[in-house]
Amino acid sequence: MKRTDNLGHSSLLFARAIRLAGATLLGVYILAFGLAAFLAFDNDPSPDVSRFFLITGIVAVLGGILGFALSFIGAKISPPDPWLDFWLDRLRFRKSLKPVKENDPSEIAGIWATATATKNWMAPSIGGKCLVEFERGSLFLIQSGKDDILVEPKKVLRTGNLTLVIDTGIVLSYGKVTLTFSSASDADTVEREAAKLVEHG
Protein backbone atom coordinates (compact mmCIF):
# COMPACT_ATOMS: atom_id res chain seq x y z
CA MET A 1 0.00 0.00 0.00
CA LYS A 2 1.29 3.43 -0.90
CA ARG A 3 2.15 5.94 1.78
CA THR A 4 -0.50 8.57 2.51
CA ASP A 5 0.51 12.03 1.33
CA ASN A 6 -1.33 14.75 3.24
CA LEU A 7 0.14 17.49 1.06
CA GLY A 8 -1.28 15.80 -2.02
CA HIS A 9 -4.71 15.63 -0.39
CA SER A 10 -4.62 19.36 0.40
CA SER A 11 -3.56 20.25 -3.15
CA LEU A 12 -6.44 18.18 -4.52
CA LEU A 13 -8.97 20.02 -2.35
CA PHE A 14 -7.49 23.43 -3.21
CA ALA A 15 -7.51 22.70 -6.95
CA ARG A 16 -11.06 21.37 -6.70
CA ALA A 17 -12.22 24.60 -5.02
CA ILE A 18 -10.56 26.68 -7.77
CA ARG A 19 -12.16 24.60 -10.54
CA LEU A 20 -15.62 24.71 -8.95
CA ALA A 21 -15.35 28.48 -8.53
CA GLY A 22 -14.35 28.80 -12.18
CA ALA A 23 -17.26 26.64 -13.32
CA THR A 24 -19.68 28.70 -11.22
CA LEU A 25 -18.41 31.98 -12.69
CA LEU A 26 -18.70 30.58 -16.21
CA GLY A 27 -22.31 29.74 -15.44
CA VAL A 28 -22.84 33.34 -14.28
CA TYR A 29 -21.18 34.55 -17.50
CA ILE A 30 -23.50 32.49 -19.69
CA LEU A 31 -26.64 33.66 -17.87
CA ALA A 32 -25.58 37.32 -17.79
CA PHE A 33 -24.52 37.28 -21.44
CA GLY A 34 -27.83 35.75 -22.48
CA LEU A 35 -29.78 38.33 -20.48
CA ALA A 36 -27.70 41.19 -21.89
CA ALA A 37 -28.26 39.91 -25.43
CA PHE A 38 -32.00 39.78 -24.79
CA LEU A 39 -32.06 43.34 -23.44
CA ALA A 40 -30.07 44.56 -26.45
CA PHE A 41 -33.11 43.94 -28.68
CA ASP A 42 -35.00 46.75 -26.93
CA ASN A 43 -34.72 49.68 -29.39
CA ASP A 44 -36.03 52.28 -26.96
CA PRO A 45 -35.00 51.19 -23.45
CA SER A 46 -35.94 53.13 -20.35
CA PRO A 47 -33.16 54.53 -18.12
CA ASP A 48 -33.68 51.67 -15.67
CA VAL A 49 -33.40 49.07 -18.42
CA SER A 50 -30.28 50.76 -19.79
CA ARG A 51 -28.71 50.77 -16.34
CA PHE A 52 -29.59 47.11 -15.83
CA PHE A 53 -28.17 46.28 -19.26
CA LEU A 54 -24.89 47.98 -18.33
CA ILE A 55 -24.66 46.12 -15.02
CA THR A 56 -25.48 42.82 -16.70
CA GLY A 57 -22.81 43.42 -19.33
CA ILE A 58 -20.19 44.16 -16.68
CA VAL A 59 -21.14 41.03 -14.74
CA ALA A 60 -20.90 38.95 -17.94
CA VAL A 61 -17.44 40.30 -18.78
CA LEU A 62 -16.07 39.84 -15.26
CA GLY A 63 -17.66 36.42 -14.90
CA GLY A 64 -16.22 35.29 -18.22
CA ILE A 65 -12.70 36.55 -17.52
CA LEU A 66 -12.51 35.19 -13.97
CA GLY A 67 -14.31 31.97 -14.87
CA PHE A 68 -11.98 31.09 -17.74
CA ALA A 69 -8.93 32.11 -15.70
CA LEU A 70 -9.85 30.04 -12.63
CA SER A 71 -10.88 27.04 -14.75
CA PHE A 72 -7.56 27.15 -16.60
CA ILE A 73 -5.49 27.55 -13.42
CA GLY A 74 -7.45 24.86 -11.59
CA ALA A 75 -6.98 22.37 -14.43
CA LYS A 76 -3.24 23.09 -14.54
CA ILE A 77 -2.60 22.63 -10.80
CA SER A 78 -5.07 19.81 -10.16
CA PRO A 79 -3.79 16.27 -9.62
CA PRO A 80 -5.95 13.52 -11.15
CA ASP A 81 -9.48 14.00 -9.82
CA PRO A 82 -11.77 11.34 -11.35
CA TRP A 83 -14.93 12.67 -9.69
CA LEU A 84 -14.61 16.31 -10.77
CA ASP A 85 -13.09 15.47 -14.16
CA PHE A 86 -16.14 13.28 -14.82
CA TRP A 87 -18.37 16.38 -14.59
CA LEU A 88 -16.14 19.19 -15.91
CA ASP A 89 -13.61 17.68 -18.32
CA ARG A 90 -14.49 14.36 -19.96
CA LEU A 91 -11.33 14.36 -22.11
CA ARG A 92 -9.11 14.73 -19.04
CA PHE A 93 -11.22 12.13 -17.26
CA ARG A 94 -10.71 9.58 -20.04
CA LYS A 95 -6.97 10.24 -20.17
CA SER A 96 -6.67 9.67 -16.42
CA LEU A 97 -8.26 6.23 -16.52
CA LYS A 98 -5.93 3.34 -15.93
CA PRO A 99 -5.82 0.72 -18.69
CA VAL A 100 -7.98 -2.33 -18.21
CA LYS A 101 -5.95 -5.19 -16.77
CA GLU A 102 -6.24 -8.46 -18.64
CA ASN A 103 -5.35 -10.69 -15.70
CA ASP A 104 -7.76 -11.87 -13.03
CA PRO A 105 -8.22 -9.05 -10.47
CA SER A 106 -7.72 -11.53 -7.64
CA GLU A 107 -4.12 -11.99 -8.84
CA ILE A 108 -3.26 -8.33 -8.16
CA ALA A 109 -1.42 -7.85 -4.86
CA GLY A 110 -2.95 -5.47 -2.33
CA ILE A 111 -5.88 -5.11 0.03
CA TRP A 112 -9.23 -6.15 -1.40
CA ALA A 113 -12.70 -5.48 -0.02
CA THR A 114 -16.30 -5.85 -1.07
CA ALA A 115 -17.79 -2.35 -1.28
CA THR A 116 -21.35 -1.06 -1.12
CA ALA A 117 -22.58 2.51 -0.74
CA THR A 118 -25.69 4.58 -0.04
CA LYS A 119 -24.61 7.06 -2.68
CA ASN A 120 -25.62 10.59 -3.54
CA TRP A 121 -27.57 10.68 -6.83
CA MET A 122 -24.80 12.72 -8.51
CA ALA A 123 -21.98 10.33 -7.64
CA PRO A 124 -20.86 7.35 -9.75
CA SER A 125 -21.92 3.99 -8.31
CA ILE A 126 -19.83 1.88 -5.94
CA GLY A 127 -20.26 -1.87 -5.68
CA GLY A 128 -18.48 -5.21 -5.84
CA LYS A 129 -14.96 -6.30 -5.10
CA CYS A 130 -12.45 -3.43 -5.08
CA LEU A 131 -8.74 -2.93 -4.58
CA VAL A 132 -8.24 -0.39 -1.77
CA GLU A 133 -5.31 1.99 -2.30
CA PHE A 134 -4.06 5.14 -0.60
CA GLU A 135 -2.38 7.47 -3.05
CA ARG A 136 -1.61 11.22 -3.08
CA GLY A 137 -3.31 11.64 0.28
CA SER A 138 -6.56 10.06 -0.92
CA LEU A 139 -8.39 6.75 -0.73
CA PHE A 140 -9.17 5.03 -4.03
CA LEU A 141 -11.38 2.03 -4.75
CA ILE A 142 -10.20 0.33 -7.94
CA GLN A 143 -11.98 -2.26 -10.06
CA SER A 144 -10.53 -3.77 -13.19
CA GLY A 145 -12.17 -2.28 -16.27
CA LYS A 146 -14.00 0.46 -14.34
CA ASP A 147 -13.29 4.05 -13.34
CA ASP A 148 -11.29 4.57 -10.15
CA ILE A 149 -13.43 5.85 -7.28
CA LEU A 150 -12.01 8.64 -5.11
CA VAL A 151 -13.39 8.38 -1.55
CA GLU A 152 -12.91 11.26 0.90
CA PRO A 153 -13.65 10.05 4.45
CA LYS A 154 -15.36 12.33 6.97
CA LYS A 155 -15.82 9.60 9.60
CA VAL A 156 -14.56 6.03 9.93
CA LEU A 157 -16.53 3.49 11.96
CA ARG A 158 -15.49 -0.10 12.71
CA THR A 159 -18.74 -2.06 12.74
CA GLY A 160 -17.29 -5.56 12.84
CA ASN A 161 -14.11 -7.58 12.84
CA LEU A 162 -13.99 -7.47 9.04
CA THR A 163 -16.18 -4.44 8.31
CA LEU A 164 -15.61 -0.68 8.07
CA VAL A 165 -18.15 2.03 7.35
CA ILE A 166 -16.67 5.19 5.82
CA ASP A 167 -18.97 8.20 5.97
CA THR A 168 -18.14 10.57 3.10
CA GLY A 169 -20.79 13.15 3.96
CA ILE A 170 -24.00 14.06 2.16
CA VAL A 171 -23.35 16.79 -0.42
CA LEU A 172 -21.85 15.68 -3.75
CA SER A 173 -20.48 12.46 -2.32
CA TYR A 174 -21.15 8.74 -1.85
CA GLY A 175 -22.93 8.71 1.51
CA LYS A 176 -21.78 5.78 3.66
CA VAL A 177 -19.38 3.31 2.03
CA THR A 178 -19.24 -0.14 3.62
CA LEU A 179 -16.06 -2.16 3.10
CA THR A 180 -15.96 -5.84 4.01
CA PHE A 181 -12.49 -7.43 4.11
CA SER A 182 -11.27 -11.02 4.06
CA SER A 183 -9.01 -10.52 7.09
CA ALA A 184 -9.01 -8.42 10.24
CA SER A 185 -5.46 -7.23 9.54
CA ASP A 186 -6.57 -5.70 6.23
CA ALA A 187 -9.46 -3.97 8.00
CA ASP A 188 -7.04 -2.69 10.67
CA THR A 189 -4.70 -1.24 8.03
CA VAL A 190 -7.42 0.56 6.08
CA GLU A 191 -9.05 1.83 9.29
CA ARG A 192 -5.73 3.29 10.45
CA GLU A 193 -4.92 4.97 7.11
CA ALA A 194 -8.47 6.28 6.60
CA ALA A 195 -8.43 7.75 10.12
CA LYS A 196 -5.31 9.72 9.14
CA LEU A 197 -7.21 11.22 6.20
CA VAL A 198 -10.05 12.24 8.52
CA GLU A 199 -7.57 13.79 10.95
CA HIS A 200 -5.84 15.84 8.25
CA GLY A 201 -8.93 16.46 6.10
Question: Is the same domain home to 191 and 110?
Answer: yes
Question: Is the same domain home to 113 and 169?
Answer: yes
Higher pLDDT: 153 or 200? It is: 153
Residue 39 inside a domain? The answer is yes
Q: Please check whether residue 194 is in contact with residue 153, taking contact to mean a CB–CB distance below 8 angstroms.
A: yes
Q: What is the domain range of residue 149?
A: 99-200
How high is the mean pLDDT of the chain? 77
Question: Is the same domain home to 177 and 105?
Answer: yes
Choose the weakest-confidence range: 34-38, 100-104, 163-167.
100-104
Question: Is the same domain home to 107 and 195?
Answer: yes
pLDDT tens-digit readout, 88-127: 766 665 555 554 444 444 555 689 999 887 765 545 567 7
Residue 149 inside a domain? The answer is yes
Question: Is the same domain home to 63 and 112?
Answer: no
Name the most confidently modeled range: 8-12, 130-134, 145-149, 160-164.
160-164
User: Would you list the DSSP string of 50-102?
Assistant: HHHHHHHHHHHHHHHHHHHHHHHHHHHHPPP-HHHHHHH-HHHHHHHSPPPP-
User: In the 8-state DSSP scheme, what is residue 172?
Assistant: T
What is the domain count for the chain?
A: 2
pLDDT tens-digit readout, 129-138: 889 988 877 8
Question: Is the same domain home to 110 and 59?
Answer: no
Enumerate residues 6+ apart whose C-beta is below 8 A from 55: none
Residue 174 inside a domain? The answer is yes
| pLDDT of 172 higher than 60 | no
Residue 84 inside a domain? The answer is no
Question: Is the same domain home to 128 and 181?
Answer: yes
Question: Is the same domain home to 111 and 65?
Answer: no
Grade residue 175 by pLDDT with cuts at 50, 70 and 90.
confident
Question: Is the same domain home to 115 and 182?
Answer: yes
Residue 91 inside a domain? The answer is no
- Please count the CA atoms within 13 angstroms of the CA of 105 that sit on its side-chain side: 17
Residue 86 inside a domain? The answer is no
Q: At what angle do helices 6-39 and 184-200 cross, to 10 degrees?
A: 60
CATH code at position 131: 2.30.29.30
Q: Please check whether residue 126 is in contact with residue 152, taking contact to mean a CB–CB distance below 8 angstroms.
A: no
